[in-house]
């Protein structure tokens, strides 16, 4: 089976998709991103297309299987970004990041998550079980 190489160009402005995130007690939110265009490196300023918040990138790297810092991530790569995000609520899965001052069209398909509560209002599912009494 032949797998094609990732599409994208390092020469175009940065366009990165937020795939996942987790919170680290020492560095804050660690974002897992896929770069569609451009490159991302330490010292760059990135902006969230959804929130408009600006962040300074302090570290980028790849997961292999743990975090391994690299100089930069290029178009087509998937890696992590530490950018001073302090709250997990700032990381919206599906959000697009771009370089400060170079606004790009956000990647399609992003929808803000709507919190939901699920409850069951029927009878309890204990029918058919005998109650065991201690001997």
CA 64 vs. chain centroid, Å, equals: 17
* pLDDT the model gives residue 49: 92
Position 130 confidence tier, pLDDT thresholds 50, 70, 90: low
Residue 127 has pLDDT above 90, yes or no: no
- The domain spanning residue 61 has which CATH number? 2.40.30.10
Report yes or no: 104 and 14 within 8 Å, Cβ to Cβ. Answer: yes
Domain count, the chain: 1
Domain ranges, residue 70: 15-99
Distance between CA 18 and CA 88 in Å, rounded? Answer: 12
- Of 28, 62, 59, 48, which Cα lies nearest the Cα of 99? 48
* pLDDT the model gives residue 10: 86
Residue 47 has pLDDT above 60, yes or no: yes
pLDDT tens-digit series, residues 55-93: 999 999 999 999 999 999 999 999 999 999 999 999 999
113 falls within a domain: no
66 falls within a domain: yes
130 falls within a domain: no
Query: What percent of the chain is predicted at pLDDT more than 90?
Result: 63
10 falls within a domain: no
47 falls within a domain: yes
7 falls within a domain: no
């Amino acid at each position: 089976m032949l797998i094609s190489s990732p599409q994208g160009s390092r020469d175009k402005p940065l366009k990165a998709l937020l795939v996942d995130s987790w919170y680290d007690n020492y560095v804050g939110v660690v974002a897992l991103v896929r770069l569609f265009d451009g490159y991302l490196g330490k010292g760059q300023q990135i902006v969230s297309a959804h929130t408009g918040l600006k962040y300074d990138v302090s570290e980028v790297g790849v997961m292999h299987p743990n975090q391994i810092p690299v100089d930069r991530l290029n178009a087509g790569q998937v890696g992590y970004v530490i950018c001073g995000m302090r709250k997990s609520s700032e990381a919206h899965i599906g959000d697009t990041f771009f370089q400060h001052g170079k606004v790009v069209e956000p990647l399609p398909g992003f929808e803000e998550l709507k919190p939901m509560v699920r409850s069951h209002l029927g009878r309890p599912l204990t029918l058919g079980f005998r109650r065991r009494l201690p001997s």
